[in-house]
Structure 1
Amino acid sequence: MINNTPLGVIEGFFGRSWSWQQRTELATFLQPTGYGYYLYAPKSDTRLRSQWRQDWSQDDWQALCTLRQHYRTTGIEFGIGLSPLDLCAPNGRTDSVCLSAKIDRINQLQPDILALLFDDMRGDIPQLATIQTELAHRVAASSNASKIILCPTYYSDDPILEKVFGARPSGYWEALGQQLDSSIDIFWTGPKVCTEQFTRSHLSDVANRLQRQPFLWDNYPVNDGATKSKHLYLKPFGSDRADIGDLLAGHAVNPMNQFNLSKLALASLPHAYTDASYQPDRLFNTLLEQLCPPALGAALQEDAARFTAEGLDAIEPEVRASLAQRYRQLVDDSGMSAEVADWLAGKYSFDPACLTD
């Protein structure tokens, strides 16, 4: 990969979750495709979020241990994302016992990566950067992960973050960059929460603010928001992704709720990093041939633009029903046709917990 930029997938979306079997299958897909790591951070795992102080059930813990071992076997780095949602509140800083216990538990998985995720929480807190730096240093000191990544509460210039989570403290990014140990990476999604196109000037500016290259949390092709859940993003990453690798500490992709359909976009990113003449449109045809049986590939080639641009609301109910029937008849081992049919039938409903669409 150009400039050795680490590429990976972060399961970090709201709404309908992937199954344990799909997470296992992902490793087999990532290894030959050109990805090096997977970060387990589903919003549905309350033991990493609203109930982070509590332990996993025996069944979920065993499934998590089995998943971690599978990634070790396949040679893909395994990470886990912890979101202690109330730890930055005035009373939260003193909760060191629970935090230490959680890190000790996560250490039993021997993760390669530990992400400390401060997104999706109030940020209008005095000395927020200092609080988060102290917590990150505490976690780094007790974690056995070889890499620590912090997601700030304000991980983009997008004004929606201040609208939802409160006014950003003055000098937040600069203070975080100055105080945080240089070995700890910082996630960034771009000028928007869901950025369509990245520029080199923007990423260089972010690096100056954070005093390190950003670790890109790429919210394409994720579709978990109120608007985006009504769309399917099947096309390859834009050509801008081929021109930013040297400005990044890493590149993590947040995929769609539709596990199998996500593979089309996911398969394209390593090409952006390795193909000297990256052409997304031409690559899309190639990926359809590689990942889909012919009939399904032809159907997706015909409908992909409509699914992306128009979405469910713009498709008349009778047309939607006809399309759903068409895709249900395209039974295939890839699982993609069933996901399209379910999406058309409204089975991937919006999760109102996602506030930043």
Structure 2
Amino acid sequence: MTPELGVIEGYFGRPWRHEDRKQVLTRLRGLGFSYFHYAPKADAFLRRRWREPHPDAALAELAELSAHCRSLGLRFGAGLSPYELYRDFSGPARDAFVAKLRSLDAIGLDDLAILFDDTRGDVAGLAALEAEIVHIAQAHTRARRVLMCPTYYSDDRMLDIVFGPRPAGYLEDLGRRLDPRVGVYWTGEEICTREFGPGHLARVADQLRRKPTLWDNYPVNDGPRMSRFLHLRGFTGRPSVIGPHIAAHAINPALQPHLTLIPAATLVAAYRQGQGYVYMSAFREAAHAQAGDELAAMLEEDLHALQGRGLDQLGEDRARLRARYAAVDHPMAAELLRWLDGADTVDGWIEDA
């Protein structure tokens, strides 16, 4: 069973260029993906500066992107992170929130995601406050589908270390309070989960009183460490047997939009092929289909250097790789060159770049 597949552009670092986004979404639709949620951490007007309106040019670009998705039959959504709104959801703050929803409605939303990820969670009554905010959004948006991401969106204890200890029974409380129609994003046992299993997903579904929507942090490569690697290998640890246990499966893409197409295609293959899936064969097939024969062969030859060793361990190979890919006229080769030049490294979790 292949679940609904989507992409949530929810990484730290430089957002994709508008034209790249349109081109890649066209190809993702052809692969079988059915929705896209725009939520880059660097869009400050969706996060720390959410009370401020987007500049007119940015709104026009998003409206064009929405229309492009609609022309493809791809659901378009935005992820709004009303930064720490739960600390003060008084009249003025509520009014500002509703005004923001209306401005997002104007660009044409099929989906609206309210995201509470990567913010402090040591707040009394956190689940009740988040549910209230989501229900206000549900009542005022014209989007036909509403999702949310909890503050504690994984079992990973790193969230408790960075954002404060999670309240006891948080997921159960959230699941009990949320309208059953609201989808819930979940990254798994870890923030960057190695494997999703039916047992884990069934437990989370029981806690949330609904099947989770996966926010899969592969092939994303943001942050100070991961941005020094290219995530190109085929998906592993996503067996097709998880399909009945989830509402949908969305990937958080890499900083390199065109290169993202290779692993994205392997996720489709993993579900379609079931027990017959072989991740390296899927990589080869996807690379040849998305990059062409010459570039695909080069990427496979250099896979260990690009994904295993990473930018800081390339040494003299860095210059060799740069000369090798500079000779290829292809968007993926251009992205690889940019990465080799260090232009995609993320030196910190900087949202408002």
Fold-level similarity (TM above 0.5) = yes
What's the counterpart of residue 343 of structure 2?
347
Q: CA RMSD in A?
A: 1.5
Give the secondary-structure state (helix, strand or coil) at the position aligned to 2:223: coil
**Residues 105-132 of structure 1: per-residue CA shift (max 9 Å, x gap):** 1122231110000011110000000000
Contact map agreement 1:203 1:247 (CA 8 A) in 2: yes
Question: In structure 1, what is the Cα distance between the partners aligned to 2:350 and 2:159?
Answer: 12
Q: Which amino acid aligns with 2:285?
A: T
Question: In structure 1, what is the Cα distance between the partners aligned to 2:327 and 2:108?
Answer: 44
Task: Report whether the alignment pairs 1:7 with 2:5.
Answer: yes
**Residues 55-78 of structure 1: per-residue CA shift (max 9 Å, x gap):** 111111111111111111111110
Q: Which of 113, 116, 126 pairs up with 1:115?
A: 113
Q: Which amino acid aligns with 1:339?
A: E
The alpha carbon displacement at 1:81 in A equals: 0.5
Task: Report whether the alignment pairs 1:225 with 2:209.
Answer: no
Task: Report whether the alignment pairs 1:338 with 2:341.
Answer: no
What's the counterpart of residue 158 of structure 1?
156
What's the counterpart of residue 298 of structure 1?
297
What's the counterpart of residue 313 of structure 2?
314
| TM-score, normalised by the number of residues in structure 1 | 0.94
Identical positions, percent: 40
Question: In structure 2, what is the Cα distance between the partners aligned to 1:172 and 1:274?
Answer: 35
Segment of structure 1 superposing worse, 193-202 or 306-315? 306-315
Question: In structure 1, what is the Cα distance between the partners aligned to 2:237 and 2:94?
Answer: 45
Q: How many residue pairs end up in the alignment?
A: 349
Give the secondary-structure state (helix, strand or coil) at the position aligned to 2:49: coil
Question: In structure 2, what is the Cα distance between the partners aligned to 1:206 and 1:143?
Answer: 27
Task: Report whether the alignment pairs 1:55 with 2:43.
Answer: no
What's the counterpart of residue 138 of structure 1?
136
Question: In structure 2, what is the Cα distance between the partners aligned to 1:166 and 1:206?
Answer: 21
What's the counterpart of residue 25 of structure 2?
27
Give the secondary-structure state (helix, strand or coil) at the position aligned to 1:178: helix
| TM-score, normalised by the number of residues in structure 2 | 0.95
> Structure 2 stretches of 5 or more lacking a match?
none
Q: Which amino acid aligns with 2:103?
A: R
The alpha carbon displacement at 1:297 in A equals: 1.4
The alpha carbon displacement at 1:179 in A equals: 0.8
What's the counterpart of residue 179 of structure 2?
181
What's the counterpart of residue 262 of structure 2?
264
Q: Which amino acid aligns with 1:237?
A: F
The alpha carbon displacement at 1:331 in A equals: 2.3
Contact map agreement 1:85 1:120 (CA 8 A) in 2: no
Question: In structure 1, what is the Cα distance between the partners aligned to 2:118 and 2:166?
Answer: 13
Q: Which of 168, 171, 174 pairs up with 1:170?
A: 168
The alpha carbon displacement at 1:93 in A equals: 4.5
The alpha carbon displacement at 1:314 in A equals: 2.1
Question: In structure 2, what is the Cα distance between the partners aligned to 1:210 and 1:354?
Answer: 31
Greater relative contact order (CA < 8 Å, ≥ 6 in sequence)? 2
Give the secondary-structure state (helix, strand or coil) at the position aligned to 1:192: coil
The alpha carbon displacement at 1:294 in A equals: 2.7
Segment of structure 1 superposing worse, 144-153 or 294-303? 294-303
The alpha carbon displacement at 1:102 in A equals: 0.8
Give the secondary-structure state (helix, strand or coil) at the position aligned to 1:232: coil
Question: In structure 2, what is the Cα distance between the partners aligned to 1:99 and 1:284?
Answer: 43
Question: In structure 1, what is the Cα distance between the partners aligned to 2:250 and 2:148?
Answer: 13
